[in-house]
């Protein structure tokens, strides 16, 4: 389901004064210290994922500002956005963030193939063998302790909805 369809659903099910929380992960790995290698397989994977998604009419790129703008256009008000960094791997010094990074690394190592196969075979014309070889390289890079990668997570709290928009939507 795309964001505009979900926004319509949220609007339909939220009474005036209701609350909604949205969490969106930008599927483009980042580092704050330029620790990706120059020929980073992680970066290439992210770029290929987005290219395939766009061919499918989707996007995996999100930001708190773009989400906030979409929700304002849909009639929501009092929107608060918080940005978080979700580490990938056990590199953070902070113990809590290190644990989060370990779980995220496990999720990526286990889920990379499922996240990739359909999109790349259908929209990028990669063979399963090509994908498996490439994903092996991506997994190895994710495991490197000197690569300090993370995902950007936007958490948005929608505190109310304009009554006039709710009325106009339910009268249809």
How many Cα atoms occupy the beta-carbon half-sphere of 95 within 13 Å? Answer: 0
Label residue 172 by pLDDT band (50, 70, 90).
Answer: very low
Maximal C-alpha separation, the chain = 57
Residue of 60, 40, 34, 29 lying closest to 149 (CA atoms): 29
Q: pLDDT (tens digit, 9 = 90+) per residue, 29-57?
A: 999 999 999 999 999 999 999 999 999 99
Residue of 77, 50, 80 lying closest to 62 (CA atoms): 50
Q: pLDDT (tens digit, 9 = 90+) per residue, 89-98?
A: 999 999 999 9
């Amino acid at each position: 389901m795309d964001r505009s369809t979900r926004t319509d659903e949220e609007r339909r099910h939220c009474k005036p004064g209701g609350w909604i929380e949205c969490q969106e992960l930008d599927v483009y790995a980042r580092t704050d210290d330029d620790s990706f290698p120059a020929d980073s397989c992680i970066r290439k994977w992210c770029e290929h994922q987005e290219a395939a998604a766009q061919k499918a009419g989707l996007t995996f790129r999100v930001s708190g500002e773009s989400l906030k703008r979409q929700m304002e256009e849909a009639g929501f008000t009092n929107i608060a956005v918080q940005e978080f960094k979700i580490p990938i791997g056990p590199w953070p010094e902070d113990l809590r963030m290190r644990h989060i990074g370990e779980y995220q690394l496990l999720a990526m190592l286990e889920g990379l193939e499922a996240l990739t196969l359909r999109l790349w075979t259908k929209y990028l014309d990669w063979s399963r063998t090509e994908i498996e070889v490439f994903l092996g390289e991506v997994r190895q890079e994710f495991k490197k302790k000197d690569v300090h990668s993370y995902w950007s997570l936007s958490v948005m709290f929608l505190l109310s909805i304009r009554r006039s928009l709710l009325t106009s939507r339910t009268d249809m």
